[in-house]
Amino acid sequence: MLAHVTTFAIDGLSSRRITVEVDLRRGLPAFTIVGRADAAVRESRERVQTALVNAGFEFPQKRITVNLAPAHLRKVGPGFDLATACGVLVASEQLPAAALEHWAVFGELSLSSELRHCRGVLSVAEGARDAGIAGLVVPRDCAREAALVDGLQVAGVTRLQEAAAILRGEPPPELPPPATRSPPAAEPDLADVRGHTEAVTAVTIAAAGAHNILLSGPPGTGKTMLARRMISILPPLTRDEAIAVTRIHSVAGRHVGDELVRRRPFRAPHHSISPAGLVGGGSVPQPGEASLAHHGLLFLDELSEFSRPALESLRQPLEDGSVAIVRGQRTVTFPTGFQLVASTNPCPCGFLGDVRCRCTEADVARHRRKLSGPLLDRMDLLVQMQRPKAEQLEHDVGTPSHGIRADVLEARERQTHRLAGTGLTTNAELTPRLLRELVRADGAATTRLRLAYEQGTLSARGHGRILRVARTIADLAGSQRVREHHVAQALSLRQEQVLDGALAA
């Protein structure tokens, strides 16, 4: 007898519908799985057989052939276990064939017939809804994640016997209650930052317009401290953004909860990371840190310590907001809509221009070559941080994050209103055409920007980035038009001398 079961395979961040065809024939007992299955899928033969026996079902002593269609798509992971087991039960007439007409199934089986958590359940649920399937059977640990998708009946089960009961027509169990969670840890507050008023202003501008920012200065001046507190002034995720972030983290196996990710991601990879770890890759393409930081912050501490290939791999994701990974004539696209925050020292020891600096000219030149001009040209704000004075550390009172966040939210609301209908939400995303149409700069501001460009200190890309930053400064000030002093401030925050000539290197 031939049985058909619907399940789904993870393909990048989306899911593809898979039909599991199970055929039972007379002959010597055998269990074969075909259809471009990887090792984890082929090993499911032993898991399925043992789970069926331990669940009290009869394992047919016949020739069993399982085909995962379409055959051209590579099947990866243990999520096909439940579909294979259900197909064997239907083909051996232990379950009615009509049971699988309205349900898709997805999950990994243990040898004791329990169902285990699988990555990518949110993408599977979206695929089931888009395919017009009424219900989805998943492990109970994943049920609330799948239930985030509207218009889909979700049945969370703990054992194979429960899945079989649902397919026989019994009502599915209620969703498990939300997990009890401890209160979230308090976010670091910008009030801790003292003696860096200009740097805090630059961080505020970067947060308001989603601009990339590079902090430069000697060791111990507060670059990392300031960068890690920037997340506290960003606006909360919208529901669409939260679903996108949750989908990425679920596919990557980093989302083990039962609710949407509510905090914007903050990723801070070590400088030894490879290009594939940063932008994604692998024999089976997986999202990298750039995608895990989607709708959040990617913080690269000690930028000059990262390998040159890793840094250069960020150029296209920064520009396009996505990265295409090609493996074996297959292309997978991951979103990379992150905001880049980076810090660096001016030289290997960090004390360039100070009596403590012992770096030679060759050392400094080698240090600068790691930061290519094209990469630095994609940074909107370049901020020099100096060592604060003792009285500033003792007596300065920093501005709390909640006050700055209110200003950032107001500026974001102005951008949302201005960009309504374009599909964009922040000034950093403005295309050249929208820059011309929506950024209203007065004559003095236009003249100031033209003079800066004609002096040769700005590239064509830098010209547009200055205008985007000036528009954000105007939004923070509540101005409808971009004035000359807005452009002047944007230019002051993009000074080549910040890296002592690194832009020209």
* Three-state helix/strand/coil letters over 142-208: HHHHHCCCCCCEEEEECEHHHHHHHHCCCCCCCCCCCCCCCCCCCCCCHHHCCCCHHHHHHHHHHHH
pLDDT band of 497, cuts 50, 70, 90 = very low
- Which residues does 54 contact at the CB level (< 8 Å), separation at least 6? 111, 112, 113
Q: Mean of the pLDDT values across residues 56-67?
A: 95
Contact 480, 439 (CB under 8 A): no
HSE, side-chain direction, 13 A CA sphere, residue 333: 6
Sign for the pseudo-dihedral over CA of 358, 361, 367, 368: positive
Q: Label residues 87-111 b or e (16+ Cβ within 10 Å = b).
A: bbbbbbebbeeebbeebbbbbbbbe
**In the prediction, which pLDDT does 181 show?**
66
User: Is the pLDDT score of 501 beyond 80?
Assistant: no
**In the prediction, which pLDDT does 369 show?**
80
Contact 15, 6 (CB under 8 A): no
Which of the pair, 2 or 284, is modelled with greater confidence? 2
Q: Mean of the pLDDT values across residues 205-218?
A: 95
SS3 content of the chain, % helix, strand, coil (to 5): 40, 20, 40
Where are the domains positioned within the chain? 2-167, 190-504
Q: Specify the DSSP element, H or E, that contains 62.
A: none
Nearest-angstrom CA–CA distance, 147 and 154 = 6
**In the prediction, which pLDDT does 103 show?**
94
Question: Smallest Cα–Cα separation from 333: which of 8, 9, 12?
Answer: 12
Nearest-angstrom CA–CA distance, 265 and 401 = 17
Nearest-angstrom CA–CA distance, 282 and 156 = 32
Question: Smallest Cα–Cα separation from 20: which of 131, 146, 117, 106?
Answer: 106
Q: Is 361 helix (H, G, I), strand (E, B) or coil?
A: helix
**In the prediction, which pLDDT does 388 show?**
84
Question: Smallest Cα–Cα separation from 210: which of 118, 88, 104, 298?
Answer: 298
Residue 102: phi and psi, rounded to 5, are -115, 5
Question: Smallest Cα–Cα separation from 160: which of 11, 273, 304, 51?
Answer: 51
Token code pair at residue 452: 């800066």
pLDDT band of 505, cuts 50, 70, 90 = very low
Q: Mean of the pLDDT values across residues 382-392?
A: 85
Distance of CA 193 to the CA centre of its chain: 28
User: Is the pLDDT score of 11 beyond 80?
Assistant: yes
Q: What's domain 2-167's architecture?
A: 2-Layer Sandwich (3.30)
Residue 300: phi and psi, rounded to 5, are -110, 100
Q: Mean of the pLDDT values across residues 209-226?
A: 92
Q: Mean of the pLDDT values across residues 129-140?
A: 95
pLDDT tens for each residue of 393-402: 877 777 899 9
**In the prediction, which pLDDT does 182 show?**
64
**In the prediction, which pLDDT does 93 show?**
93
Token code pair at residue 394: 């003792």
**Cβ neighbours, 10 Å, residue 163:** 28
HSE, side-chain direction, 13 A CA sphere, residue 323: 28
User: Is the pLDDT score of 121 beyond 90?
Assistant: yes
* CATH superfamily placement of domain 190-504: P-loop containing nucleotide triphosphate hydrolases (3.40.50.300)
**With left for phi above 0 and alpha for psi between -120 and 50, is residue 286 left, alpha or beta?**
beta
User: Is the pLDDT score of 430 beyond 90?
Assistant: yes
Q: Specify the DSSP element, H or E, that contains 47.
A: helix 44-54
User: Is the pLDDT score of 458 beyond 60?
Assistant: yes
Contact 483, 474 (CB under 8 A): yes
Query: Which DSSP symbol is given to 23?
Result: E
Q: Partners of 108 in the beta sheet? A: 116
**In the prediction, which pLDDT does 502 show?**
40
**In the prediction, which pLDDT does 338 show?**
96
pLDDT band of 498, cuts 50, 70, 90 = very low
pLDDT tens for each residue of 239-265: 999 999 999 999 998 886 668 888 999
**In the prediction, which pLDDT does 504 show?**
35
Question: Smallest Cα–Cα separation from 412: which of 200, 209, 202?
Answer: 209
Kindly write down the DSSP assignment for every residue of 229-279, as one continuous string. Answer: HGGGGSPPPPHHHHHHHHHHHHHTT---SSS---SPPEE---TT--HHHHH
